[in-house]
Structure 1
Amino acid sequence: MSAPKAAPPRPTGRFLGLVGIAALAAFAILVGLGTWQVQRRTWKLDLIARVDARIHAAPAAPPAREAWAAIGTDDAYRRLRVRGLFLHDRETLVQAVTELGGGFWVLTPLETPDGDRFLINRGFVPPERRDAATRAQGQFPGETTVTGLLRLSEPGGAFLRSNDPAGGRWFSRDVAAIAQARGLGDVAPFFIDADASANPGGLPVGGLTIIAFRNDHLVYALTWYALALMVAAGTAYLFRDALRRPRRA
């Protein structure tokens, strides 16, 4: 009858020390990542609250020309109201996918009595109504008032699809590029998403702005903290097992 195998000897103190240092570093990094995600969640919740307050506030006049250069993310989704004339002959169609299906955003410059120009996203039209002649009622003359949300420019294009000003193909609402292509001169560096107020003839359809902020930070935080606990538990088990083994001869 064979004798039972002897337990393997205890790992050297140097080996255990290196393992302990590596585990401590991994634990600190994982806890740090979890804490960072908690901080990001706090920031995201504050952002959501601030944006919610902006979209439900009373509409204000758009920023004055001298303030245009300072427009930034803290201004996004502010409710604005502006009055002026649409320059229908310089509208631009930007490809869009909405809850109404695929089609185009109709971006039309609006000129105020003071000479300021703003690019207005009047809303959505389906592909078969992209030609302005098929929605002539919506091309009305005279002054109008637009209420909507301030949106930041979307330069460059969409994922894997660059804007083609020369070909008239637009995949993002790039204010500067559209202004240059349409010869609009100095325009506000943002655009305004019109609200759901009906246009004559029913097109374009406004009020389709989607305001949604992904907030998975709590899940990420719990994941990092769980991994940190696994590292701690695994290291503790390793040391406990090592201490139970006989010393090396």
Structure 2
Amino acid sequence: MSKTRTVTSKPGEEHSEAVRAPSLWLTALLLIAFVVLIALGVWQIERRVWKLALIDRVEQRVHAPAQPVPSPASWPTISAANDEYRHVSVSGRFLHDRETLVQAVTEEGPGYWVLTPLKRSDDTLVLINRGFVPSERRDASTRRGGNPDGQVEITGLLRMTEPKGGFLRDNAPEHNRWYSRDVAAIAAARGLHDVAPFFVDADAGSQVAGGPIGGLTVIRFPNNHLIYALTWFALAFMLAGKLFVTFGGGLFRRKRFVHERAGGSDAAARRTGSDAGTIVEPT
């Protein structure tokens, strides 16, 4: 869409130039983009508030005194929001012949988590992540001295099951290859019944000499929401500037100077007369 503006250069003469205005569709898209950017910024601020509250809740759970692991009656209601990283304790007897190795990369290097069922007095089972072993200790025969036979008490952090597999890698139970701690799949592969729908990361205090290295749980919640919010708001601000220049910046536009052609019949008179100088028009 355009409109024509007439500019008078001197008495009796005038010329026209086209002034292009943005289309209705472009205007609508710019306004929608501005609203979306503001909404994204507000959403990131809200996410930051939620993330800070989550971090605070987890910190309180981790450092609270250990409580008994949830009873079977409460298993259907266990959730990440209410229970993950709770400091718990559980006692029973390890079923070492049913252990499962899950690939892991830790501060100790690459290797495996050792997940072993713990049979409790009521015959229910809880999978215990006893800790980390390097690849050279993958075979259970290399760490028999670290496998207690009798009653043990384990303290650690309650963790939610990790279904299906790890990043870009699916568990392959038929080949005994595990990339995530999928409780239900591990229980099915090992023929286990009455298994809790969560597992427990054993802490360093539950570590046995010669056994897996416990206490390596990493609790990390990325919190980049403020940076994201500032980015969205900055983009919205730049877009608002573009809208202002397009629709409301006429008063601040640069002035264009149109001079008489050299040698014009009345050029000298115009330079020295009452209307001397240049013709000024907005551009």
TM-score (norm 2): 0.80
- Residue in 1 aligned with 2:246? 238
| Native 8 Å contact 1:94 1:104 kept in 2 | yes
Deviations 1:1-35, CA, capped at 9 Å, x for gaps = xx9xx8953335xx465554333222111111100
Q: Looking at both structures, which has the greater relative contact order when contacts are Cα pairs under 8 Å and sequence separation is at least 6?
A: 1
- In structure 2, the CA distance between the partners of 1:179 and 1:43, relative to structure 1 (3 Å rule), is same
Query: What is the letter of the counterpart of residue 214 of structure 1?
Result: P
* Corresponding residue number in structure 2 for 1:35: 42
Specify the alignment match of 1:211 in structure 2: 219
Q: Which whole-Å deviations, capped at 9, do the CAs of 1:199-224 have from their partners, x for residues lacking one?
A: 33332000000000011100010011
Q: Could you tell me which residue of structure 2 aligns to residue 67 of structure 1?
A: 74
Q: 2:114 aligns with which of 106, 118, 130?
A: 106
Looking at structure 1, the residues matched to 67 and 192 of structure 2 have their Cα atoms a distance apart, in angstroms, of 24
Contact 2:166/2:179 (8 A) holds in 1:
yes
SS at match of 2:175: coil
TM-score, scaled to structure 1: 0.90
Q: What is the rounded CA distance, in whole Å, between the counterparts of 1:16 and 1:163 in structure 2?
A: 54
- 2:33 corresponds in structure 1 to 26
**Structure 1: which 5+ runs fail to align?**
none
Q: Secondary structure at the match of 2:218?
A: coil
Q: Quick check: 2:154–2:206 contact (8 Å CA) kept in 1?
A: no
Q: Distance in 2 between matches of 1:183 and 1:106?
A: 17
- Distance in 2 between residues matched to 1:147 and 1:7, nearest whole Å: 85
Hey, what's the Cα distance between the residues in 2 that align with 1:100 and 1:190? 25
Q: Contact 1:162/1:171 (CA < 8 Å) preserved in 2?
A: yes
Gaps in structure 2 of 5+ consecutive residues:
1-8, 10-14, 256-280
Over the matched positions of the two proteins, sequence identity in percent amounts to: 54
Match for 1:151 among 154, 159, 174? Answer: 159
Q: Count residues in correspondence.
A: 241
Q: AA paired with 1:206?
A: G
Q: Which has the larger radius of gyration?
A: 2
Residues 141-179 of structure 1 show CA distances to partners (whole Å, capped at 9, x for unaligned) of 110000000100011111221111111111110100100
Q: Deviations over 1:92-117 (max 9, x none)?
A: 11111000000010000001112121
Aligned to 1:90: 98
